[in-house]
């Protein structure tokens, strides 16, 4: 089996564990947008914005550091125990600090006190299982990894359906204790309760890993992991800014209703997000494990090209059939006012995926600090353009800011990578496929909106061009 084929298979296995939860969250979007008005949907968005921020802060790059040092250390058990102990201790200290200063934090985060307590309970539980999940990936246990992830999301989905649909529509099937404490005007809170229940179940399943390792904390190993990981943490915070600042600013600068509509339409880009995340899950361990191979750089180059081909195809399917997905996922027309952001956000996420692929150079050369600077550069673009343009152009400015930020990060990473870790990327083909996809998408979105016959024809045209351009290489990979 060829290296590329093995990579694609590993990516599919780990990708499924990421794709399925994302798809299930996507399935919940119609339920949430049907039940919640756009203004209240903004509360749901704010909750998960803060969850993303604190998740990055509390893991402080330890997951990526774990892969880096676990794959090359002769004492991998020491890496596991050190990372595990470090994250557990820091998370417990964080929980104590939150308990002491919760009144100040509630005011700062602008959350209902009950939502605040749910938020930090979820954050603590999710952080405690980061290293066990990473261990499953690093030791090649995709089935267990996927099973736990799937159980987590099924819990979320089933509890959402129960509280937001069954209890509301069929109260006769709910026990009296649920009905006595059920507040139909506070529906969004049950979304957070479902998330907490899923996190608690996941924690209990992975609890045996707390006793799996010997209590060995190597300060030297931790120092190396911290030095490698803290720039990744800063880069992660910058990513949260890139991904979420627009929503908070739209809420403050325009209105809760517009922010809710923007966030709802943003969800239509979930398929591209899923694709990028699935790629990252499979690629990160692969890049580290394959780095010492003679043909490593050529393999990385091929992976990027086929990533772009797959990503542009997803981009075109979603744009050419956007009316179908809009009516399928967001049935409330109140949200459709922001539909124009979708092609822009899709392209932005494709650029982000390319950036993740290009980031192999600074991860393999231990220049994670440079990666941090690139992410900060993207965050600066996001901040400046959002503050400058939202008052002038409205919510569409936030989408363009995201595209500029990820596009800028992609370009800077490419040119720095040429200097420090040159990979023979097929730039001519990559740029050509992106430009062709953007041109076709513009024709479909602006000239033939809702015309599925034209959309299918344009899509087949793109597939035909790609096939005849890449036919020999594609057949070679399939037959190997």
pLDDT digits (tens, 9 = 90+) for 205-236: 998 877 776 778 888 888 888 888 888 888 88
Instruction: Look at phi and psi of residue 110 and say left if phi exceeds 0, alpha if psi is from -120 to 50, else beta.
Output: left
Q: What are phi and psi of 127, to 5 degrees?
A: -70, -35
What is the distance between the alpha carbons of residues 7 and 286, in angstroms, rounded to a whole number? 7
What's the domain range around 170? Answer: 3-479
Contact 240, 52 (CB under 8 A): yes
Contact 15, 278 (CB under 8 A): yes
Residue 73 confidence (pLDDT): 63
In the numeric block, which tokens belong to residue 86?
């470090």
Contact 39, 260 (CB under 8 A): yes
Q: Is the pLDDT of residue 359 over 60?
A: yes
Give 145-186 as a 3 state SS string.
HHHHHHHHHHHHHHHHHHHHHHHHHCHHHCCHHHHHCCCHHH
- Mean pLDDT rounded to a whole number for the chain: 84
**How many domains is the chain partitioned into structurally?**
1
Contact 40, 336 (CB under 8 A): no
Contact 214, 77 (CB under 8 A): yes
Residue 114 confidence (pLDDT): 86
pTM as predicted: 0.75
In the numeric block, which tokens belong to residue 437?
């996809």
pLDDT digits (tens, 9 = 90+) for 381-399: 999 999 999 999 999 999 9
Contact 425, 304 (CB under 8 A): yes
Contact 138, 67 (CB under 8 A): yes
Residue 243 confidence (pLDDT): 83
């Amino acid at each position: 089996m060829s290296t590329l084929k093995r990579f694609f298979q590993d990516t599919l296995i780990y990708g499924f564990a990421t794709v399925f939860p994302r798809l299930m969250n996507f399935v919940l979007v119609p339920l949430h947008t049907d039940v919640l008005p756009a203004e209240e949907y903004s509360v749901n968005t704010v909750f998960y914005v803060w969850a993303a921020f604190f998740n990055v802060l509390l893991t402080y790059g330890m997951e990526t550091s774990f892969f880096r040092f676990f794959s090359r250390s002769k004492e991998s058990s020491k890496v596991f125990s050190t990372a595990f102990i470090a994250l557990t201790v820091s998370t417990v200290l964080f929980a104590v600090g939150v308990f002491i200063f919760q009144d100040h934090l509630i005011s700062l985060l602008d959350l209902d006190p009950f939502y605040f307590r749910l938020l930090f309970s979820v954050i603590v539980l999710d952080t405690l299982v980061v290293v066990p999940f990473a261990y499953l990936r690093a030791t090649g246990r995709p089935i267990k990894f996927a099973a736990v992830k799937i159980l987590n999301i099924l819990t979320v989905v089933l509890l959402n359906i129960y509280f937001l649909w069954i209890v509301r529509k069929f109260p006769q099937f709910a026990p009296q204790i649920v009905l006595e404490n059920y507040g139909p005007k506070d529906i969004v809170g049950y979304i957070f309760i479902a998330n907490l229940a899923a996190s608690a179940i996941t924690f209990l399943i992975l609890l045996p890993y707390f006793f799996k390792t010997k209590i060995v904390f190597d300060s030297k190993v931790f120092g190396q992991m911290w030095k490698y990981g803290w720039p990744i943490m800063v880069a992660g915070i910058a990513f949260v800014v890139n991904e979420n600042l627009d929503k908070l600013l739209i809420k403050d600068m325009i209105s809760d209703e517009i922010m809710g509509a923007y966030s709802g339409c943003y969800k239509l880009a979930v398929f591209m997000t899923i694709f990028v995340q699935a790629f990252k899950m499979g690629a990160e361990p692969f890049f580290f494990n394959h780095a010492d191979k003679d043909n490593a750089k050529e393999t990385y180059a091929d992976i990027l090209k086929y990533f772009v081909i797959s990503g542009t195809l997803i981009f075109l399917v979603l744009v050419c059939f956007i009316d179908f997905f809009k009516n399928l996922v967001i049935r409330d027309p109140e949200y459709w006012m922001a539909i124009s952001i979708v092609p822009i956000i899709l392209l932005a996420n494709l650029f982000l995926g390319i950036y993740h692929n290009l980031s192999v150079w600074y991860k393999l050369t231990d220049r994670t600090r440079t990666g941090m600077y690139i992410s900060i550069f993207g965050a600066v673009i996001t901040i400046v353009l959002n503050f400058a343009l939202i008052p002038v152009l409205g919510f569409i400015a936030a989408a363009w800011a995201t595209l500029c930020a990820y596009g800028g990060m992609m370009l800077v990473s490419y040119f720095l990578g040429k200097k420090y870790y040159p990979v023979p990327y097929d730039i001519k083909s990559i740029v050509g496929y992106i430009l062709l996809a953007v041109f076709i998408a513009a024709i479909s979105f602006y000239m033939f909106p809702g015309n599925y016959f034209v959309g299918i024809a344009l899509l087949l045209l793109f597939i035909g061009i790609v096939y005849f351009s890449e036919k020999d290489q594609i057949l070679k990979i399939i037959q190997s």
